[in-house]
Amino acid sequence: MSETKVVAVYGSGCKNCKAMHESALKAVADLGINARVDYITDIVEISAKGIMSAPALAIDGKVVSMGKVLDSNAISKLILQESEAMSDSGSSSCSCGGNCC
């Protein structure tokens, strides 16, 4: 995982959203990856992502969780899953991303 990842927590600034942001920071530190952790509270930006309940978590622009407070272990697992999915989809030379075979 050498590329810079973007982990974003979306929320209103409440206690639960802040807790999830702290968990995201811890997950990135525990994994030792090159990642930026954003905390987005702008309601327009939250709405544009289609997020209907906070807190929400996005990894590299993809919303992976809404409406639950995740601990650092759960966030770490999601980061690893998304990284694996990205590397799997990029491993094929055909346009289907490796889904045809």
**Across all residues in the chain, what is the average pLDDT?**
88
Mind listing the domains of the chain with CATH numbers?
Answer: 5-87 (3.40.30.10)
pTM listed for this prediction: 0.81
Task: Give CA torsion, residues 12, 52, 81, 32, to 10 deg.
Answer: -10
At 91, give phi and psi (nearest 5°).
-85, -10
At 100 the pLDDT is: 53
User: Does pLDDT of 92 surpass 90?
Assistant: no
pLDDT for position 86: 77
Mind listing the pLDDT tens digit for each residue in 32-75?
Answer: 999 999 999 999 999 999 999 999 999 999 999 999 999 999 99
